């Protein structure tokens, strides 16, 4: 058992390193090729934050470990709201922009509801995946259009600073060397990402068998919390720095991408059969956490410490109920 846990942690560390290198290499390469910062931010950086969930769920689906694949996404979305926003609000009350309440939060709730409806027949088919991924392209297109309008008005200052959160702007010795190095960095990052995810899935399955719980439970707990740790670190640090927009946007954006991008692509590549039990507990809980954010955030446009504690306690109760 100790060996499996050690391998799981090792896989998690390799997964994170791979995701970081993939995003850094791809972003630098795109920048060297003259791609606009907003395009990098809406594609490479946005996908990079969900890449751990994506690779883990895709490999799990290909290995026919559907419980881990689907449990990872549902568990991550619950953890993002209950655990991450809960802790972040306890660190510092989170001010919520009006635009989040009017646009992003309704989109997250709508996507979660659509995902739940799709699972009623206990499968994620190719067509389900195509619908979700097409919706993602529309979502990115909408934000790209709005961002380009802002870019013209602000000379790209705000958008450039956001894209640069994941882009290291250090000067390189020469452009050709930079492109080669960044291409290699992205390739190695992708290899580490796949290798780490593979190690996590294999050890996760073995842990489930040793403990005597289902793969779904492992996906909902160990795997989902593990793949959500980058979001936790980002949101907590942002809360401490009083950068509430990053804390809140990080979680809501991740939940939208997890369903539309991860489930969308996984559904098209390796359609999933879904355990019927998810329809009666885990999915309703995911919806409940998503919907609960609206009244909690609407009170004074702030998610305060008491509301953060409510989310955190709710997440704790959810985990206890799983066992």
35: alpha, beta or left? (left if phi > 0; alpha if psi -120 to 50): beta
Give the pLDDT band of residue 78 (cuts 50, 70, 90): very high
Give the pLDDT band of residue 1 (cuts 50, 70, 90): confident
**How do residues 202-246 score in pLDDT, each as one tens digit?**
787 788 778 788 888 888 888 888 777 777 777 777 778 777 776
* Cα gap 245→59, rounded to integer Å: 33
Give the helix ranges, DSSP H, for the chain: 2-32, 37-40, 46-62, 66-79, 86-91, 98-99, 105-118, 126-154, 157-163, 175-211, 215-218, 224-240, 244-257, 264-269, 282-298, 305-322
Give the pLDDT band of residue 112 (cuts 50, 70, 90): very high
pLDDT, the chain, mean:
81
**How do residues 158-173 score in pLDDT, each as one tens digit?**
445 545 544 444 444 4
Give the pLDDT band of residue 135 (cuts 50, 70, 90): very high
Tell me if 230 sits within 8 A of 18, measured CB to CB. Answer: no
> What mean pLDDT do residues 98-118 have?
88
CATH code of residue 42? 1.20.1420.30
**How do residues 136-162 score in pLDDT, each as one tens digit?**
999 888 877 776 776 565 545 444 554
Tell me if 82 sits within 8 A of 311, measured CB to CB. Answer: yes
Q: Using alpha carbons, select from 32, 61, 100 the residue that is nearest to residue 262.
A: 61
DSSP-derived secondary structure letter, 219: I
Residue 170: its pLDDT value, please? 46
- The total domain count for the chain is 1
pLDDT at 79 > cutoff 60:
yes
> For residue 291, what are the domain limits?
2-322
């Amino acid at each position: 058992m100790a060996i499996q846990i050690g391998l799981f942690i090792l896989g998690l560390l390799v997964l994170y390193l791979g995701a970081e290198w993939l995003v850094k290499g791809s972003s630098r390469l795109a920048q060297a090729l003259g791609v606009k910062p907003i395009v990098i931010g809406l594609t490479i950086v946005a996908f990079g934050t969900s890449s751990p969930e994506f690779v883990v769920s895709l490999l799990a689906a290909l290995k026919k470990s559907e419980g881990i694949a689907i449990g990872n996404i549902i568990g991550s979305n619950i953890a993002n709201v209950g655990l991450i926003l809960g802790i972040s609000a306890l660190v510092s009350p989170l001010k919520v922009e009006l635009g989040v309440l009017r646009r992003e939060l309704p989109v997250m709730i709508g996507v979660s509801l659509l995902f739940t409806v799709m699972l009623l027949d206990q499968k994620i088919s190719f067509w389900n995946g195509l619908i979700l991924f097409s919706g993602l392209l529309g979502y990115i297109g909408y934000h790209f259009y709005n961002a380009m309008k802002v870019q013209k008005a602000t000379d790209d200052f705000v958008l450039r600073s956001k894209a640069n959160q994941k882009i290291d702007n250090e000067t390189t010795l020469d452009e050709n060397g930079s492109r080669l190095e960044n291409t290699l960095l992205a390739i190695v990052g992708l290899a580490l990402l796949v290798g780490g995810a593979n190690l996590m899935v294999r050890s996760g399955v073995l842990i489930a068998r040793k403990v005597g719980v289902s793969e779904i439970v492992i996906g909902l707990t160990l795997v989902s919390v593990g793949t959500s740790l980058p979001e936790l670190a980002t949101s907590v640090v942002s809360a401490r720095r009083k950068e509430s927009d990053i804390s809140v946007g990080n979680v809501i954006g991740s939940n939208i991408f997890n369903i539309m991008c991860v489930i969308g692509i996984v559904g098209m590549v390796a359609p999933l059969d879904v355990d019927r039990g998810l329809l009666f507990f885990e999915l309703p809980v995911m919806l409940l956490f998503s919907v609960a954010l609206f009244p909690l955030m609407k009170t004074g446009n702030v998610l305060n410490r008491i509301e953060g504690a409510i989310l955190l306690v709710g997440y704790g109760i959810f985990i206890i109920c799983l066992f």
